[in-house]
């Protein structure tokens, strides 16, 4: 006697991303109440389940929703305004513009960022930006998992944070976390001490303690460029990761964005603490920061996920193109074509990103008991043929335009290449109007 389910996805090449890296040819997924209840062949699940709703993957590639482990989504409003600069010049250009941000402009920027993410097959992001409640509101409406929360940027911040003392900021962050305790689709909250160059060790220690008291992820930039490391050494008397270690900020609940300039013992430190790294190759290349030692970090057991960084420094919120770049860069850096196989890069874009957020029991693979965050990529075009290996096709030849359907929590948030919760043309128009107003001042 077949059991009922809410939705059956059928006839896909299901890239499960479980420990065994299983691929099911003509695979299917049964979903009930937003949860994956069965994964098997189409024939098997069509016999086991009855449903009012079937989604035919038409022999496309089915993967877990991708995780963007480091971004600033609302910075879509500043896309293209600070190109061709080093990190220091980039920050100097952006910080005055950020003084002009309002809840409305962050909402417009976050809406565009989330729409672009969903269209790219990204279903979860660890975000760091002002007015986090605005982005959360948009994410809940569009069906996107946004892990975010209060951000601390020291004296370099926008006027609305700088007008408070650090103690006041900390108290406000604490009450924000109390009043936003239900993380909804985001599943967890985060707290973002920006970096060791804008905050002192004791401030970072207090912020990390606050995050841990609330079960939140600590999300921090560190060791992004050689110039940053030198600056922090000069001003704090220690390297960025040493400052984080002294502040007890490194732990299994911490995500360090970038980690480009690392000494051996700093790699060991990250491994010993179980701290995750968000590798942001596009941003690191565009700002000429360098190439992170991702292969070595992974070999030491450090969880590494893929980040796009903000759309002002990478200009693209797709995790798949960033994963492609990550694989190519490790091969180039090590002079070893076997470094970072396609399967490992896809793992970083999915299950390792979820693990880095402490959410791999719910996200990152297509397994029974996990939430139904599923991306169906079309594989009918010439760029997907011949399909010898789904990992190879995904990483090296498919792109954003091949994303056909996206489910988050079992809900169809992208259908036939269009977001279901917003009018993309209208979102783009509002982003352009908002960006123009911000740049005029
Ligand atoms: Zn960043």
Q: Which residues pair with 216 in a beta bridge?
A: none
**CB 35 within 8 Å of CB 81:** no
How many angstroms does the Cα of residue 37 sit away from the middle of ligand 1?
36
Measured in whole angstroms, how far is the alpha carbon of residue 194 from the centre of its chain?
Answer: 16
- Written in H, E and C, the secondary structure of the chain is CCEEECEEEEEEEEECCCCCCCEEEEEEEEEECCEEEEEEEHHHHHHHEEECCEEECCCCEEEECEEEEEECHHHHHHCCCCCCCCHHHHHHHHHHHHCCCCHHHHHHHHHHHHHHHHHCCEEEEEECCCCHHHHHHHHHHHCCEEECCCEECHHHCCHHHHCCCHHHHHHHHHHHHHHCCCCHHHCCCEEEECECCCCCHHHHHHHHHHHHHCCCEEEEEECCCHHHHHHHHHHHCCCHHHHHHHCCCCCCCEEEEECCCCCHHHHHHHHHHCCEEEECHHHHHHCCCCCCCHHHHHHCCCCEEECCCCCCCCCCCCHHHHHHHHHHHHHHHHCCCCCCCHHHHHHHHCHHHHHHCCCCCCCCCCCCCCECCEEEECCCCHHHCCCCCHHHHHHHHCCHHHEEEEEECCEEEEECCEECCCCHHHHHHHHHHHHHHHHHC
Measured in whole angstroms, how far is the alpha carbon of residue 341 from the centre of its chain?
Answer: 21
How many angstroms does the Cα of residue 221 sit away from the middle of ligand 1?
6
How many angstroms does the Cα of residue 309 sit away from the middle of ligand 1?
5
How many angstroms does the Cα of residue 380 sit away from the middle of ligand 1?
36
pLDDT at position 422, please? 98
How many angstroms does the Cα of residue 140 sit away from the middle of ligand 1?
23
How many angstroms does the Cα of residue 351 sit away from the middle of ligand 1?
21
pLDDT at position 372, please? 98
CA distance 38 to 369: 9
How many angstroms does the Cα of residue 339 sit away from the middle of ligand 1?
26
Domains and CATH numbers, the chain: 3-64+370-419 (2.30.40.10), 66-356 (3.20.20.140)
Place of tokens 């948030």: 413
How many angstroms does the Cα of residue 195 sit away from the middle of ligand 1?
10
**CB 280 within 8 Å of CB 322:** yes
CA distance 197 to 87: 12
How many angstroms does the Cα of residue 4 sit away from the middle of ligand 1?
44
CA distance 426 to 108: 11
How many angstroms does the Cα of residue 273 sit away from the middle of ligand 1?
22
How many angstroms does the Cα of residue 285 sit away from the middle of ligand 1?
13
pTM of the model: 0.98
pLDDT at position 1, please? 85
What angle, rounded to 10 degrees, do the helices at 103-119 and 424-440 form?
140
How many angstroms does the Cα of residue 310 sit away from the middle of ligand 1?
6
pLDDT at position 441, please? 77
Residue-wise pLDDT tens for the chain (441 aa)? Answer: 899 999 999 999 999 999 999 999 999 999 999 999 999 999 999 999 999 999 999 999 999 999 999 999 999 999 999 999 999 899 899 988 998 999 999 999 999 999 999 999 999 999 999 999 999 999 999 999 999 999 999 876 555 555 678 999 999 999 999 999 999 999 999 999 999 999 999 999 999 999 999 999 999 999 999 999 999 999 999 999 999 999 999 999 999 999 999 999 999 999 999 999 999 999 999 999 999 999 999 999 999 999 999 999 999 999 999 999 999 999 999 999 999 999 999 999 999 999 999 999 999 999 999 999 999 999 998 988 999 999 999 999 999 999 999 999 999 999 999 999 999 999 999 999 999 999 997
CA distance 70 to 310: 8
CA distance 415 to 403: 9
How many angstroms does the Cα of residue 216 sit away from the middle of ligand 1?
18
How many angstroms does the Cα of residue 184 sit away from the middle of ligand 1?
24
pLDDT at position 164, please? 79
How many angstroms does the Cα of residue 16 sit away from the middle of ligand 1?
30
């Amino acid at each position: 006697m077949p059991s009922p389910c809410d939705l059956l996805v059928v006839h896909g090449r299901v890239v499960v991303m479980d420990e065994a890296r299983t691929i099911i040819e003509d695979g299917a997924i049964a979903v009930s109440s937003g949860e994956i209840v069965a994964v098997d062949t189409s024939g098997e699940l069509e016999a086991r389940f009855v449903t009012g709703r079937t989604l035919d993957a038409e022999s496309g590639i089915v993967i877990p929703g991708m995780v963007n482990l480091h971004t600033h989504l609302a910075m879509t409003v500043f896309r293209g305004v600070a190109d061709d600069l080093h990190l220091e010049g980039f920050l100097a250009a952006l910080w005055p513009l950020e003084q002009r941000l309002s809840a409305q402009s962050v909402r417009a920027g976050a809406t565009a960022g989330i729409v672009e993410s969903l269209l790219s097959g990204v279903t979860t992001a660890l975000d760091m930006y002002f007015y986090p409640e605005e982005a959360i509101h948009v994410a809940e409406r569009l069906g996107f998992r946004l892990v975010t929360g209060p951000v601390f940027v020291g004296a370099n911040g926008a006027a609305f944070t700088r007008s408070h003392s650090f103690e006041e900021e900390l108290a406000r962050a604490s009450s924000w976390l109390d009043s936003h305790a239900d993380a909804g689709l985001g599943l967890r909250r985060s707290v973002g001490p920006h970096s060791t160059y804008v905050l002192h060790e004791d401030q970072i220690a207090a912020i990390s303690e606050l995050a841990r008291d609330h079960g939140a992820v600590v999300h921090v930039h560190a060791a992004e460029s050689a110039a940053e490391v030198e600056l922090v050494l000069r001003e704090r008397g220690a390297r960025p990761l040493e400052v984080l270690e002294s502040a007890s900020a490194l732990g299994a609940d911490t995500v360090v964005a970038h980690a480009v300039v690392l000494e051996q013992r700093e790699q060991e430190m990250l491994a010993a603490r179980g701290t995750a790294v968000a590798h942001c190759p596009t941003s690191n290349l565009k700002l000429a920061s360098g190439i992170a030692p991702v292969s070595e970090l992974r070999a030491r057991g450090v969880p590494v996920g893929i980040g796009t960084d903000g759309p002002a420094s990478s200009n693209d919120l797709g995790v798949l193109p960033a994963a492609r770049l990550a694989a190519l860069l490790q091969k180039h850096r090590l002079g070893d074509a076997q470094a970072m196989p396609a399967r490992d890069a896809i793992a970083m874009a999915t299950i390792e990103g979820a693990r880095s957020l402490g959410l791999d029991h719910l996200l990152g693979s297509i397994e029974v008991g996990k939430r139904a965050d599923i991306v169906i990529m079309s594989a009918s075009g010439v760029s997907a043929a011949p399909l010898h290996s789904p990992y190879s096709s995904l990483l090296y030849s498919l792109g954003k335009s091949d994303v056909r359907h996206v489910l988050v929590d079992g809900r169809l948030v992208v259908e036939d290449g269009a977001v279901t919760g917003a009018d993309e043309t209208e979102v783009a128009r509002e982003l352009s109007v908002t960006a123009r107003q911000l740049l005029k001042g």
